[in-house]
Structure 1
Amino acid sequence: LNGRPLDLIGPPITLYHRAFSEFLENFEDVNLEISPDIFNWITDFIFAAAEFYDTEDERLEKIRDILSKKWTIDLIEYQDKSGIGHSCDGVFMCKIKNKLTAYIAFIEGKNEVGSGGCDPSIQGAIYYRDHWSQHRAQEIRNSCCVPSLIITVAGPWFCVLGAVFLNRVVVQPLTDTIPFTVNLRNDVQVMRIARLFQALDIAFDHLTSFYQKVELSSLPSDRRVFPYIQQAGFGKNAFSFTYICEILDDHSRPIWKAMRDDNNKMIVVKFALKYNAKAHIICAKKNYAPELLYYSDEEEAKRLGGYKMIIMEYI
């Protein structure tokens, strides 16, 4: 589910792991502190991205060479069901329990826009699906939604996407397509690129920590297909809940049936970019709508990628 065509859209991935919305917050934060080691090579990276290359391999090798100053990037090959070997242009990995490997991020690139005969975001999504579908990744896949980042390159244009594996793979862009053809004397443009890599670095650390702590399972957990947020309210009014199922077979309208853990009452949990809570309360007082139990404040909405969590009685 990657929005191509538009009816193939999945639920917001920011609801499934905090690393995605945290990446967005950091990338947009003009006051984000940039580590010195990123500053050391950011100009070289901009020059390398804007350069012309004869082949795709030459471009990607140069990009991997610079990124390797900060991160370890592996090239691993796998076989599809027909036995044909494939490899993406780079994988960021970490070792976890039972000597298993978690895939933090994937790089997929083309020499220039329009070259290579394929959209790198689609190809990157396929590599994400294929790597996480391997038998050796099954214990991890059983335990969580296996969140990963996908970094696409097309000439001097970069984009970051996020991916989760629910009952189907969901891939969504986290950034626009970012040009690296910038004026090096324009601090605003250069700092935006520096923030991109700093935000990626923080996200890599977040995902690495997550995978190293994940409780592996030999059987699929139904919890992996539900949003990560399972608590609402503050102080004495706080309560946790357990998701039961989706109410609508419409991924563009994320709404679930759930049960409160404190009193076993059924509730509806929905997520929306905008919601008129005042109108809901007025309607509820006249018995035209179920009672509104909770409504996210702006700070929580920020942590959910802009989505507000609305909880009401289930009737």
Structure 2
Amino acid sequence: MTPSQAAKSANYRMEQSGSNPLYDGRYDDANPAATIAPPVQLYHPVFARFIDDVNNTALEIPGEVLVATADLMHKASGIYQDEDARKSKIRPALKKALSLDITNLVNDDRTSPDGGIMWTISKPEAALDHTVALAIKEEKRELGEGGCDPSTQASFSVQRYWVQHANNALRALCCCPTFLIAFAGPWISVLGAVFTDKCIPQRLTDFIWMGNGSVFNSHACRRVARVLYSLTRSLHELRRYYTTLPQTGPSTRFFPSPKEFQCPGSSTPVRFEYAEPLERDAGCVAFLCKTKEDNQSIVVKFAESYCSEAHAHLAAKGMAPQLLYCGPIDPSPGAPSYGGLKMIVMEYLEGKTVAQVEQHNLPGDFAVQLKKIIGVLHAGGFVFGDLRPPNIMVSKDKVKLIDFDWAGQMGIAQYPLHLSSRIVWPEGVGPLGKIEKAHDLAMLQALINPV
């Protein structure tokens, strides 16, 4: 079915429970499937920079962009008789605000989004002359018209665009970073999308009101202008990326883009390549990697929070893998912040998690070792919070903790907002509640004395 048909509620629900869903976090309530994926900014820094710019109230916006945005907001406030009348006013105004041309785009199967911002990669030496969509736009006369959300339709449109035969070569080389613009009535939203082994569209802004709702409208105009100017800057960056993309060499399609870290006290970065994700789950953000200089196996993961102090405390006693790095994804000057995401690098352990080992194959002193580890952790003033089989490693009969995302100082560390309802948590555990020593001990007992 076409993207506009697939985006309608009943069809969207069916698509999300099928074999090729959008990994946008939505699912069929009657037939849930995992559709959460890693953040798109991990696959390409252009999205991280866009997010930084949008949130930077000190970003200097050119006067002509402010003027063009004010005109666009005025036109978006109109109530139009039909879509053609609206497009005739909105498209030129949006083009002027972005300082980029918006053209028609027709796929091989004759489906067509409402517009695209295109760029031609011309490399005569490589016999390459290919036009790529930097952005795809979908719009509605009013929000809710047509029976679908334009941001969902744009997501299906980018999926349809990149699976075309003409894009096979480019899709094999990279993750196909693309911006999506969803425009309905006086509302606009910007999304980012990548194509790995799946299509991952993610909303980078909410739907933002663009209408003239007050005689005092300067603040709202500056906010919208900042979004549009940030998008322009990011599209220029994306143009440079596609222009300089190597036509040979390893694909950058399936893994995050960060590929180096710097050990504390060293001035030389350690470069690495991704080998495979450590879990089959679509949302996996932990990877087995190989260092380029000496081909050593390491684990690289990404997290919003991580207690490096608790990890280092146990690692010093051989009760956790050695922690090699925990800090910003890219600490270089001028690099995007990645929304505060951290990169964590640790030694790779040969072995299996307790979740992968049959109970009768655990070391005979498993309970003794685990009790000692938790005792050492608590004695150091830390709590763990998530003492479950996937977070405990058995390596050469030695038990080690491997995940410190929730760990923290006793009396301070809190549980995250989202706790799985499929896990039986100890009494008193709840979203944003304090992680208590008693909770760790209760989970410890459940592990060593399973019912």
| 1:138-158 per-position Cα deviation (integer Å, ceiling 9, x unaligned) | 221111111000010121111
Aligned residues: 309
Q: Select which of 87, 91, 99 maps to 1:60.
A: 87
> Residues 73-84 of structure 1 correspond to what in structure 2 (within 5 A)?
73-80=102-109
Equivalent residues of 1:101, 1:137 under 8 A apart: no
> Residues 102-141 of structure 1 correspond to what in structure 2 (within 5 A)?
102-141=132-171
Is 1:306 matched with 2:335?
Answer: no
Q: CA deviation at 1:237?
A: 4.5
Q: CA deviation at 1:184?
A: 5.4
Q: Select which of 96, 105, 113 maps to 2:121.
A: 96
Q: CA deviation at 1:298?
A: 8.2
Is 1:3 matched with 2:25?
Answer: yes
> What stretches of structure 2 of length at least 5 have no aligned partner?
1-22, 28-32, 123-127, 350-451
Is 1:262 matched with 2:293?
Answer: yes
Identity %: 34
Q: CA deviation at 1:190?
A: 1.6
TM-score, normalization: structure 2?
Answer: 0.65
TM-score, normalization: structure 1?
Answer: 0.92
Q: Which residue pairs with 2:435 in the alignment?
A: none
> What stretches of structure 1 of length at least 5 have no aligned partner?
none
Secondary structure, in 3 states, of the residue corresponding to 1:44? Answer: helix
Q: CA deviation at 1:302?
A: 5.0
| 1:217-268 per-position Cα deviation (integer Å, ceiling 9, x unaligned) | 5x9x543211111000165342001100000122334110001122221110
Query: Which gives a bigger RCO, structure 1 or 2 (Cα 8 Å, sep 6+)?
Result: 1
How far apart are the structure 2 equivalents of 1:208 and 1:167?
Answer: 23
How far apart are the structure 1 equivalents of 2:320 and 2:268?
Answer: 22
Is 1:232 matched with 2:261?
Answer: yes
How far apart are the structure 2 equivalents of 1:18 and 1:136?
Answer: 25
How far apart are the structure 2 equivalents of 1:189 and 1:74?
Answer: 28
Q: Which residue pairs with 1:203 in the alignment?
A: 234
Amino acid at match of 2:337: R
Amino acid at match of 1:86: T
| 1:56-88 per-position Cα deviation (integer Å, ceiling 9, x unaligned) | 2322332211123321111122243xxxx2211
Is 1:173 matched with 2:195?
Answer: no
Amino acid at match of 2:80: Y
Amino acid at match of 1:146: C
Amino acid at match of 1:11: P
Q: CA deviation at 1:305?
A: 3.5
Equivalent residues of 1:233, 1:294 under 8 A apart: yes
* CA separation of 1:184 and 1:270: change in aligned 2, threshold 3 A: farther
Is 1:19 matched with 2:53?
Answer: no
Superposition CA RMSD, Å: 1.9
